[in-house]
């Protein structure tokens, strides 16, 4: 049974080796709220204290992995609130997930856009079903990706392809996600769970401490850093009071194409 406002919960397998994070707000296509982001941080703290060796991130429902931030939660925020609360909370939660010592796997069965793709990008590996679609369409709303997308996506697929995806707002197919290096494995929806099970089995077959050492070395060598997070926060803050963001949000609610003016 889903909770109307959504929740993020943790379950641990009987042998304690696999931790599963569940994003549960299927009636809103798993759109994320501030309380859910705080729950994600808390769940990651619990995982850090556990003996889990692999972390799986999955979402409820069959229509979408996650459509990102709940627009109704941030459409009335001013610049300071956008900078100090909304974007900062998302950074804290996704960085907490990205910095877990255990290998993490996102299972993407459906649409993963905006903050939903940023959630998946905070994981080490992404398994997509053949019906998955992935993108960062924030420019079409009048703002910029704010939860690590401008850092993690270019690092993963290269600057040119990342700009292509963000500036055109298009969604990659699952096959394109594999080709571009955004996903590591693809499966027919009917075989998605068995593909994930096989991947988790492969991860568990490796030496636990060595796997964690390798992950932390790779993370430490990444290009994303505190300065990048500050720039994302400032970009979101600058966009908050603009006409274009108000127009983008209005067009979203009214299901029409936005008419941006550059103001």
Catalytically annotated residues: 118, 138
Q: What angle do CA 243, 247, 253 make, to 5 degrees?
A: 150
> In the structure encoding, which two tokens stand for residue 52, read together?
């889990």
Q: How far apart are CA 257 and CA 252, in angstroms?
A: 8
Sort residue 175 into left (φ over 0), alpha (ψ -120 to 50) or beta.
alpha
Instruction: Calculate the CA 209 to chain-centre distance.
Output: 26
Q: Nearest to residue 71, comparing CAs of 11, 137, 128, 16?
A: 137
Instruction: Please state, as a whole number, how many other Cβ atoms lie within 10 Å of the Cβ of residue 160.
Output: 9
Q: How far is CA 250 from CA 10, 33, 73, 168, 256, in A?
A: 35, 19, 14, 20, 9
Q: How far apart are CA 23 and CA 5, in angstroms?
A: 11
Q: In terms of residues, how long is the chain?
A: 263
Instruction: Calculate the CA 65 to chain-centre distance.
Output: 9
> In the structure encoding, which two tokens stand for residue 210, read together?
């060595």
């Amino acid at each position: 049974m889903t909770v109307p406002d959504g929740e993020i919960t943790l379950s641990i397998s009987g042998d304690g080796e696999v931790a599963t994070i569940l994003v549960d707000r299927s009636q809103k296509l798993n759109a994320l709220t501030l309380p859910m982001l705080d729950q994600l941080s808390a769940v990651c703290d619990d995982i850090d204290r556990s003996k889990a060796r692999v972390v799986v991130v999955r979402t409820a429902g069959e229509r979408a992995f996650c459509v990102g931030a709940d627009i109704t939660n941030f459409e009335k925020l001013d610049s300071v609130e956008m900078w100090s609360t909304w974007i900062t909370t998302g950074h804290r939660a996704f960085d907490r997930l990205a910095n877990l010592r255990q290998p993490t796997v996102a299972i993407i069965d459906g649409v993963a856009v905006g903050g939903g793709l940023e959630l998946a990008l905070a994981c080490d590996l992404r398994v997509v079903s053949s019906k998955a679609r992935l993108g960062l369409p924030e420019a079409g709303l009048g703002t910029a990706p704010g939860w690590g997308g401008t850092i993690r996506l270019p690092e993963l697929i290269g600057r040119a392809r990342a700009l292509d995806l963000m500036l055109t707002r298009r969604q990659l197919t699952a096959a394109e996600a594999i080709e571009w290096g955004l996903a590591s494995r693809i499966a027919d929806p009917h075989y998605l769970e068995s593909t994930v099970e096989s991947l988790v089995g492969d991860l568990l077959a490796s030496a636990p401490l060595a796997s964690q050492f390798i992950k932390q070395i790779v993370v430490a060598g990444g290009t994303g850093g505190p300065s990048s997070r500050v720039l994302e926060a400032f970009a979101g803050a600058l966009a908050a009071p603009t006409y274009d963001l108000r127009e983008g949000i209005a067009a979203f609610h009214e299901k029409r194409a936005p008419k941006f003016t550059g103001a």
